[in-house]
């Protein structure tokens, strides 16, 4: 059979392998995030650190983290020193990790006596120390306040767990049993994928198949990038940080051999968690670029190869020790938006207005330990030819399947969710309307504390080509009498008395084009569907 | 209070007396056929073909006609006429008609259901608009991405003030005057059905029932008002709402289809009761199938697994992979220990992916269904070249225009065309259908070979292999992906296209035995003859396993069991009852279903279930854990076994000349023997490479495989060398 046909078949097998790992992790994890809905990330890489495949539930920033971190694992534990059955883990943001609570696990797959591939899994684990339960302390001024720091370590061998290490991990968690349960789940997922990969290798010349597959993807990626007009295009977008705004600035250069994405000129890192580790920014870059190439290209090393990314060390997009990076997604989203702005200049008519982003929050018990951690999604910006979708995952990719349902939460926790609703008139006006944001009202039945992590609230998602901005969202404390007072967009451990509610409102997306040009039929439908009130 | 509600309304308590009497009569008749059955008829309507099987006087007669999508009863009636004529049986002597249909699935996929209004708790009117969809990979990077329209538009969604706590306690009583105002507005819309899902109604159905009656009062007599606590009383408001909604949406269409079907059958002179296959492999009386239309979504595919299970049992084989490949799709199902796996969550209209069932991409429906993986790869799947890569499906040429070789106007190459070019299929075709190799070659040359720069045969072989790989993913999903090694299993080939691909597929997985039942080309329809009358009900039962009250659990299970019996109108002692519970580790989200014995629930029964859960968990995830477990749900399934019509052994061989044909094996054309299955005597052996033909299918025996015909007309293939 021809190579491209083999690649097609192998591609399926590899993705299914990563898929199996994700399923096993999700089904056996304890983390609040995972239990309530979110997915697990899983990837297959080779011993050269090339990304081979990832599971469909893997967000691109998670995928970029697994890819970025593996070289550091191999640096700390040279391939020659690895043995079958070894398992490594880390969370170090400066070595490709995300932040303390996102734990990465790798397992080498041995072929002919040496590690040839790695399977990797990643989830947001239950708790790993830090200022706030669940890992969302927005007042962490350095990385040590975000949680236990884990450089690449060998957590298990064929003989079993490193008992000393697992004891240290457990001792640094508010919920040690859940943490160890999550770790077991991550390892189980990596093991399942490793076994499957070994079986695949026994059936065929895996190395040749993967080389061909990655080369084919790379050729396709180059072909697609070559369609972009040559030149350098600039864009910028701001991140909110208390009363301040920090700017992410980018210059995208399309040349004959690919694309250079240069963040020179971006504001310096700060002493709050809005910074982004380099792997996270890289994920954002790949996301934004992929929006301008064939969306059906498989995600693997072939997509990364033609893209050169410059992230100045010590800047907002590439933080250095000890600057914290747990709240990175505002910055990652800003990087994505800046690239969209740049490429919209390159390709008039293909861009989009700015979007509301994922707004995270957590509520934890004040008197006894319980934790509700979730997020809501903002409205997507309108595009040249279309309205923006409502409250669906813009920029980070996922969909609403990761948002927990009301009944399981209320069955588990002392909270009552009174409303989850689209906010009428929250989408930016324009010839194409921005997507709507949402309002979620969660009343606590016991004293609790709330952490919030929002962005694009004071400065809501901007419109494009004459469209209006979306309605800015926010976080509020609602008293039993119904009065509301705003909470900071990055609040930490804000007290909620029993009977009070946390209100989370996400921002609407920006509009596109002159609102006066909107099709009257679309205006009428918006009113009848309740998306607008006039 | 509920007397103006329709007969098919799913509320067991709301079924009118007349309906109960009628159901009882029907059930008596249904039982009656078991003893005096003269002629049993079964039909399966697929995307391309309509299969009809008649068992009369111990003889089996089959017909395969092209599906008539505009009115599926057309093709069906044609097939029935043909088998009746073939058998020389009068329509009046047919005393059972079992039917599998993709109607419910198609109604959902094509959005052809009834106009439904949706009513929920105040604060949650956006529930359906928001949805819980995942964005599949290609959508994530698509700036032009637009989510589909919600299943019910905002203009038909209403909120009522009321609120229950998670344990069912009333926090805010139902505001009856507000409810009446909603009823008024629903009535003004003139909808065909209403779906109600209030928060936590699985724990307390009082508000839903009261609201339903207030709304029903305002609507024309017979308008279905469906409540979630009746359809699927389990935790998880979104899935409960969509399941309820889909019941309301599909029910009226299914009801009118089944009425039309009954009329058409009556015109033919068939007055036998109609049974419809449900997704979990049982059959429902037609009346119940209309009210429980969501239970029939996997009607056709389930029939295939039932047929495979039956065929395996006849050979003493309990671990099987059913592989059912027709014109439009291929489905794989797993049978372990003689029983098909059943799942309680699946998606309809999801994005195609591995197995076609990506969670979060379609409309979730929480009813029991035989666990299947389905890929859009069938005989009619169209091959095409995109950016230098060959792809097959998911678009199908269907029945019209059909594959190029059908000569019915299809110009695009399909898997069937490739199989014909490779010499695997008989140009004689079947029925009225002749296959034209010249048209097949032309289509492959133009659309595959030329763009790829290869010759026609190489292109055909590639199409065959790609289709094989895609079918492989279906098998993969039900085996390897679940940590099950497929090598010890037997592949059972069903459907017109399966025998052509089965041995190759088996090799891919190291499977050494393939079973090809008699009349495998209409295998799903044959499976219908053996389906039990069955229904399942469930209710959330959240409690820590160590402190759960066995008496309370027993009461819930007994309640469910009684409701099932009422559904089927059965008081029969021969009923089989299966009880099960959901179990998970406290703090986790995903539960396993563990079966309980028939005895009353005691502490020991619960403890044994927990032990079973621990073992299954370890088997599935490789994690040996003894943490506290919790019960999540109670389920009961009641079934009445079908004593299927007795089928005599194979017909005596009808002599036919030995022939040979050029066919593609191991990268070259070889002149291989072609045998007609009808010409072979039991015990006869086939050694690969060869082709065994029968009217509706063509069995390809590759080199290294050999087969033997048994006295029921089934062929067992085995791989000779043990190096698999």
Instruction: Tell me the three-class secondary structure of A68-96, residue by residue.
Output: HHHHHHHHHCCHHHCCCCCEEEECCHHHC
The answer, yes or no, to whether residue B235 has pLDDT greater than 70, is: yes
* Enclosing H/E stretch for A311: none
Q: Compute the nearest-CA separation of A295 from chain B (Å).
A: 5
- Is the minimum CB–CB distance between B134 and chain A shorter than 8 Å? yes
d(CA B296, CA B275): 11
- Whether the bond between A127 and the residue before it is cis, its omega within 30 degrees of 0, is no
Least confident of A449-458, B391-400, B416-425, B551-560: B391-400
Q: Helix, strand, coil shares of chain A as percentages rounded to 5?
A: 30, 25, 45
The answer, yes or no, to whether residue B34 has pLDDT greater than 50, is: no
Q: What is the pLDDT of residue B28?
A: 42
- Is the minimum CB–CB distance between B666 and chain A shorter than 8 Å? no
Contact check, Cβ <8 Å, A352/B360: no
Identify the burial level of A396 via C-beta atoms within 10 angstroms of its C-beta, where 0-12 means exposed, 13-18 middle and 19 or more buried.
buried
Q: What is the pLDDT of residue B643?
A: 64
Q: What is the pLDDT of residue B135?
A: 74
Nearest to B628 by CA among B617, B641, B644: B617
Which residues in B lie closer than 8 A to residue A398 (C-beta atoms)? 134-135, 140
- Cβ-proximal residues to A117 (8 Å cutoff; 6+ apart), any chain: A44, A45, A46, A47, A52, A108, A109, A111, A197, A206
What 8-state DSSP symbol labels residue B589?
S
Q: What is the pLDDT of residue B360?
A: 56
Q: What is the pLDDT of residue B9?
A: 31
Nearest CB partner across the interface for A421, out of B126, B153, B354: B126
- Is the minimum CB–CB distance between B480 and chain A shorter than 8 Å? yes
Nearest CB partner across the interface for A407, out of B129, B155, B199: B199
Which residues in A lie closer than 8 A to residue B165 (C-beta atoms)? 410, 416
Beta strands in B406-565 (DSSP E): 490-494, 513-516, 533-544
* B304 φ/ψ angles, rounded to the nearest 5 degrees: -65, -40
d(CA B378, CA B376): 6
Specify the 3-state DSSP secondary structure of B320.
Answer: strand
Contact check, Cβ <8 Å, A529/B473: no
pLDDT digits (tens, 9 = 90+) for A402-432: 888 999 999 989 999 999 999 999 999 999 9
Contact check, Cβ <8 Å, B358/A420: no
Contact check, Cβ <8 Å, B134/A398: yes
- Is the minimum CB–CB distance between A390 and chain B shorter than 8 Å? yes
Q: What is the pLDDT of residue B649?
A: 66
pLDDT digits (tens, 9 = 90+) for A267-286: 999 999 999 999 999 999 99
pLDDT digits (tens, 9 = 90+) for B429-485: 776 788 999 999 999 999 999 998 999 999 999 999 888 888 887 887 777 666 567
Contact check, Cβ <8 Å, B138/A295: yes
Mean of all residue pLDDT scores within chain B: 85
Cα separation values, A191 from A77, A324, A534, B473, B617, Å:
19, 31, 56, 21, 15
Which residues in A lie closer than 8 A to residue B237 (C-beta atoms)? 405-407
- Cβ-proximal residues to B325 (8 Å cutoff; 6+ apart), any chain: B331, B377, B378, B379, B471, B493, B494, B495, B496, B497, B498, B501
d(CA A276, CA A93): 9
The CB density around residue B128, as the number of other CB atoms within 10 Å, is: 24
Q: Tokens at residue B625, please?
A: 């854990």
- Is the minimum CB–CB distance between A443 and chain B shorter than 8 Å? no
Q: What is the pLDDT of residue B645?
A: 60
Contact check, Cβ <8 Å, A383/B144: yes
In this structure, are strands B533-544 and B346-348 parallel, antiparallel, or unpaired? unpaired
- Tally the residues of chain B: 724
d(CA A343, CA A252): 8
- Is the minimum CB–CB distance between B132 and chain A shorter than 8 Å? yes
Q: Compute the nearest-CA separation of A286 from chain B (Å).
A: 10
Q: What is the pLDDT of residue A387?
A: 95
Contact check, Cβ <8 Å, B469/A8: yes
Q: What is the pLDDT of residue B299?
A: 83
Q: Compute the nearest-CA separation of A455 from chain B (Å).
A: 21
Q: What is the pLDDT of residue B308?
A: 92
Q: Tokens at residue B104, please?
A: 């419910």
Q: What is the pLDDT of residue A381?
A: 94
What 8-state DSSP symbol labels residue A509?
P
Helix A3-28, helix B456-478: angle, nearest 10: 10
- Is the minimum CB–CB distance between A36 and chain B shorter than 8 Å? yes
Least confident of A172-186, B3-17, B330-344, B531-545: B3-17
pTM of the model as a whole: 0.83
b/e for B605-622, b at 16 or more Cβ within 10 A?
bbeebbeebbeebeebbb
b/e for A409-422, b at 16 or more Cβ within 10 A?
bbbbbbbbbbbbbb
Nearest CB partner across the interface for B462, out of A1, A16, A20: A1
Q: What is the pLDDT of residue A441?
A: 98
Q: What is the pLDDT of residue A137?
A: 87
d(CA A156, CA A106): 11
d(CA A305, CA A184): 33
Contact check, Cβ <8 Å, B236/A181: no
- Closest-CA residue of B relative to A299 is B137
Dihedral of the CA atoms A62, A63, A67, A70 (nearest 10)? Answer: 50
The answer, yes or no, to whether residue B3 has pLDDT greater than 60, is: no
The mean per-residue pLDDT over the stretch B97-122 comes to 85
d(CA B418, CA B166): 57
The answer, yes or no, to whether residue B176 has pLDDT greater than 50, is: yes
- Closest-CA residue of B relative to A10 is B469
Give the CA count within 13 Å in the CB-facing half-sphere of B625. 26
The answer, yes or no, to whether residue B127 has pLDDT greater than 60, is: yes
Contact check, Cβ <8 Å, B130/A529: no
pLDDT digits (tens, 9 = 90+) for B346-380: 776 654 433 334 455 567 788 888 888 877 788 88
The answer to whether the CB of B512 falls within 8 A of the CB of B702 is no
Give the CA count within 13 Å in the CB-facing half-sphere of A156. 19
- Is the minimum CB–CB distance between A35 and chain B shorter than 8 Å? yes
Q: Which of residues 228-247 of B touch A (CB under 8 A)?
A: 235-238
- Is the minimum CB–CB distance between A28 and chain B shorter than 8 Å? yes
Which residues in A lie closer than 8 A to residue B236 (C-beta atoms)? 405, 407-408
Contact check, Cβ <8 Å, A287/B141: yes
Which residues in B lie closer than 8 A to residue A399 (C-beta atoms)? 132-135, 360
Give the pLDDT band of residue B699 (cuts 50, 70, 90).
very high
Contact check, Cβ <8 Å, B145/A389: yes
Helix B456-478, helix B437-444: angle, nearest 10: 90
- Is the minimum CB–CB distance between A158 and chain B shorter than 8 Å? no
The answer to whether the CB of B689 falls within 8 A of the CB of B626 is no
Identify the burial level of A95 via C-beta atoms within 10 angstroms of its C-beta, where 0-12 means exposed, 13-18 middle and 19 or more buried.
buried
Q: Compute the nearest-CA separation of B209 from chain A (Å).
A: 19
Q: Which of residues 444-473 of B touch A (CB under 8 A)?
A: 452, 454, 461-462, 465-466, 469-470, 473
Contact check, Cβ <8 Å, A16/B476: yes
Give the pLDDT band of residue B12 (cuts 50, 70, 90).
very low
Nearest to B132 by CA among B239, B250, B243: B239
Q: What is the pLDDT of residue B480?
A: 67
Cα separation values, A136 from A372, A450, A501, Å:
12, 10, 19
| Maximum separation of any 2 CA atoms in chain A, in Å | 72
Q: What is the pLDDT of residue B591?
A: 85
Q: Which of residues 338-357 of A touch B (CB under 8 A)?
A: 350-352
- Cβ-proximal residues to B17 (8 Å cutoff; 6+ apart), any chain: none
What 8-state DSSP symbol labels residue A422?
E
The answer to whether the CB of B80 falls within 8 A of the CB of B669 is no
Contact check, Cβ <8 Å, A36/B389: no
The answer to whether the CB of A450 falls within 8 A of the CB of A352 is no
**Disruptive mutation site among A421, A439, A522 for chain B (greatest number of B CBs within 10 Å):** A421
- The answer to whether ipTM exceeds 0.90 is yes
- Residues of chain A predicted below pLDDT 50: 1-2, 5
- Is the minimum CB–CB distance between A498 and chain B shorter than 8 Å? no
Contact check, Cβ <8 Å, A400/B132: yes
Cα separation values, A142 from A99, A146, A239, A282, B482, Å:
12, 7, 19, 22, 43
Q: What is the pLDDT of residue B352?
A: 42
Nearest to B587 by CA among B544, B535, B550: B544
Which residues in B lie closer than 8 A to residue A181 (C-beta atoms)? 585, 587, 625, 627
The answer to whether the CB of B55 falls within 8 A of the CB of B529 is yes
d(CA B178, CA B121): 12
Q: Which of residues 185-214 of A touch B (CB under 8 A)?
A: 185, 188, 191-192, 196, 199
């Amino acid at each position: 059979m021809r190579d491209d046909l083999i690649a097609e078949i192998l591609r399926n097998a590899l993705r299914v392998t990563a898929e199996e790992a994700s399923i096993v992790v999700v089904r056996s994890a304890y983390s609040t995030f995972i239990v309530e809905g979110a997915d697990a990330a899983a990837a297959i890489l080779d011993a050269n650190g090339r990304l081979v495949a990832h599971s469909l539930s893997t967000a691109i920033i998670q995928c970029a983290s697994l890819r970025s971190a593996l070289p550091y694992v191999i640096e700390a534990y040279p391939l020659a020193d690895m043995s079958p059955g070894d398992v490594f883990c880390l969370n170090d943001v400066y070595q490709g990790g995300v932040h303390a609570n996102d734990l990465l696990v790798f397992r080498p797959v041995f072929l002919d006596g040496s590690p040839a591939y790695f399977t990797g899994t990643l989830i947001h684990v239950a708790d790993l120390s830090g200022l706030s339960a669940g890992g969302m302390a927005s007042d962490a001024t350095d990385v040590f306040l975000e949680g236990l720091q884990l450089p690449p370590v060998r957590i298990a061998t064929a003989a079993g767990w490193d008992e000393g290490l697992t004891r240290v991990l457990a001792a640094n968690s508010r919920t040690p049993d859940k943490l160890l349960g999550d770790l077991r789940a991550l390892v189980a997922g990596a093991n399942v994928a490793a076994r499957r990969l070994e079986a695949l290798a026994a059936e065929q010349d895996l190395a040749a198949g993967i080389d061909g597959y990655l080369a084919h993807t790379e050729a396709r990626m180059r072909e697609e990038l070559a369609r972009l007009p040559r030149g350098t295009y600039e864009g910028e977008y701001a991140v909110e940080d208390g009363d301040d705004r920090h700017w992410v600035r980018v210059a995208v250069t399309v040349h004959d051999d690919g694309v250079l994405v240069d963040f020179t000129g971006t504001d310096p890192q700060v002493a709050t968690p809005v910074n982004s580790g380099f792997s996270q920014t890289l994920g954002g870059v790949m996301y934004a670029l992929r929006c301008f190439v064939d969306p059906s290209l498989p995600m693997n090393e072939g997509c990364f190869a033609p893209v050169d990314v410059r992230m100045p060390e010590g800047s907002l997009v590439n933080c250095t020790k000890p600057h914290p990076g747990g709240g990175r997604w505002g910055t990652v989203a800003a990087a994505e938006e800046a690239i969209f702005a740049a490429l919209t200049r390159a390709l008039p008519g293909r861009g989009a207005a700015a979007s509301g982003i994922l707004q995270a929050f957590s509520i934890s018990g004040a008197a006894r330990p319980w934790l509700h951690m979730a997020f809501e999604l903002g409205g997507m910006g309108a595009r040249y030819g279309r309205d923006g979708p409502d409250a669906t995952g813009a920029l980070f990719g996922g969909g609403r399947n990761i948002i927990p349902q009301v009944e399981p939460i209320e069955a588990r926790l002392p909270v009552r969710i009174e409303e989850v609703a689209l906010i009428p008139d929250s989408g930016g006006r324009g010839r194409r309307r921005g997507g709507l944001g949402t309002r979620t009202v969660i009343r606590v039945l016991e004293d609790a504390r709330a952490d919030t992590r929002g962005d694009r609230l004071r400065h809501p998602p901007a419109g494009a080509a004459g469209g209006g901005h979306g309605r800015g969202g926010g976080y509020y404390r609602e008293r039993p009498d119904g009065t509301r007072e705003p909470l900071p967009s990055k609040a930490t451990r804000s007290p909620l008395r029993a009977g009070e509610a946390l209100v989370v409102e996400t921002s609407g997306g920006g509009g596109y084009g002159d609102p006066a040009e909107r099709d009257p039929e679309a205006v009428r439908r918006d009113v009848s569907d309740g998306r607008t009130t006039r | 209070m509920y007397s103006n509600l329709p007969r098919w309304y799913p509320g067991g308590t709301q079924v009118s007396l007349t309906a109960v009497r009628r159901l009882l009569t029907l059930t008596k008749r249904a039982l009656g056929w078991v003893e005096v059955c003269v002629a049993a008829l079964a039909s399966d309507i697929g995307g391309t073909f309509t299969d009809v099987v008649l068992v009369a006087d111990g003889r089996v007669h089959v017909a395969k006609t092209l599906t008539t999508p505009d009115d599926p009863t057309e093709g069906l009636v044609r097939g029935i006429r043909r088998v009746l004529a073939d058998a020389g049986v009068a329509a009046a002597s047919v005393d059972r008609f079992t039917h599998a249909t993709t109607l419910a699935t198609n109604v959902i996929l094509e959005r052809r259901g009834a106009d439904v209004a949706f009513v929920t708790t105040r604060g949650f009117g956006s529930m359906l608009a928001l949805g819980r969809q995942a964005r599949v990979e290609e959508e994530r990077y698509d700036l032009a991405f637009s989510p589909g329209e919600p299943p019910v538009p905002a203009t038909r969604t209403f909120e009522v003030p009321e609120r229950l706590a998670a344990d069912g306690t009333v926090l805010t009583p139902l505001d009856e005057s507000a409810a009446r105002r909603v009823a008024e507005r629903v009535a003004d819309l003139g909808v065909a059905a209403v779906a109600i899902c209030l928060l936590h109604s699985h724990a307390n159905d009082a508000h839903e029932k009261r609201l339903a009656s207030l709304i029903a009062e305002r609507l024309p007599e017979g308008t279905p008002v469906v409540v979630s606590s009746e359809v699927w009383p389990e935790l998880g408001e979104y899935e409960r709402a969509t399941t309820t909604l889909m019941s309301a949406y599909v029910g009226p269409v299914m009801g009118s289809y089944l009425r039309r079907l009954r009329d058409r059958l009556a015109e033919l002179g068939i007055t036998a009761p109609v049974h419809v296959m449900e997704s979990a492999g049982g059959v429902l009386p037609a009346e119940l199938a209309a009210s429980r239309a969501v239970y029939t979504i996997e009607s056709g595919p389930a029939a295939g697994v039932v047929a495979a299970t039956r065929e395996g049992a006849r050979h003493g084989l309990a671990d099987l992979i059913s592989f059912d490949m027709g014109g439009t799709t291929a489905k794989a199902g797993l049978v372990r220990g003689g029983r098909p796996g059943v799942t309680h969550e699946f998606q309809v209209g999801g994005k195609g992916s591995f197995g076609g069932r990506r969670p979060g991409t379609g409309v979730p429906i929480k009813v029991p269904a035989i666990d299947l993986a389905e890929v859009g790869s069938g005989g009619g799947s169209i091959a095409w070249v995109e950016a230098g890569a060959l792809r097959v499906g998911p678009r199908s040429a269907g029945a019209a225009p059909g594959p190029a070789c059908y000569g019915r106007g299809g110009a695009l190459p399909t898997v069937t065309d490739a199989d014909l070019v490779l010499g695997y299929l008989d140009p004689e075709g079947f029925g009225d259908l002749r296959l034209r190799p010249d048209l097949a070659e032309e289509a492959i040359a133009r659309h595959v070979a030329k763009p790829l720069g290869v010759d026609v045969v190489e292109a055909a072989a590639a199409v065959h292999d790609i289709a094989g790989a895609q079918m492989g993913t279906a098998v993969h999903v039900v085996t390897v992906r679940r940590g099950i090694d497929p090598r010890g299993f037997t592949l059972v080939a069903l459907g017109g296209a399966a025998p052509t691909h089965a041995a190759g597929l088996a090799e891919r997985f190291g499977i050494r035995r393939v079973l090809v039942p008699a009349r495998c080309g209409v295998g799903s329809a044959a499976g219908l003859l053996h389906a039990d009358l069955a229904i399942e009900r469930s209710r959330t039962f959240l409690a820590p396993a160590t402190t759960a009250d066995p008496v309370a659990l027993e009461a819930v299970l007994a309640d469910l069991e009684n409701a099932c019996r009422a559904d089927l109108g059965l008081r029969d002692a021969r009923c089989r009852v299966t009880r099960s519970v959901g179990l998970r580790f406290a703090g986790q989200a995903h539960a396993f279903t563990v079966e309980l014995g028939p005895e009353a629930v005691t502490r020991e029964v619960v403890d044994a279930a927990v032990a079973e859960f621990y073992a299954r968990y370890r088997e599935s995830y490789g994690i040996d854990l003894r943490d506290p477990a919790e019960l999540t749900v109670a389920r009961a399934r009641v079934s009445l076994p079908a004593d299927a019509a007795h089928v005599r052994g194979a017909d005596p061989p009808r002599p036919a000349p030995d022939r040979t044909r050029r066919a593609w094996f191991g990268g070259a054309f070889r002149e291989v023997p072609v045998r007609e299955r009808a010409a072979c005597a039991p015990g006869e052996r086939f050694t690969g490479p060869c082709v065994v033909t029968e009217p509706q299918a063509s069995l390809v025996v590759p080199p290294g495989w050999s087969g033997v015909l048994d006295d029921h007309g089934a062929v067992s293939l085995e791989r000779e060398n043990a190096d698999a």
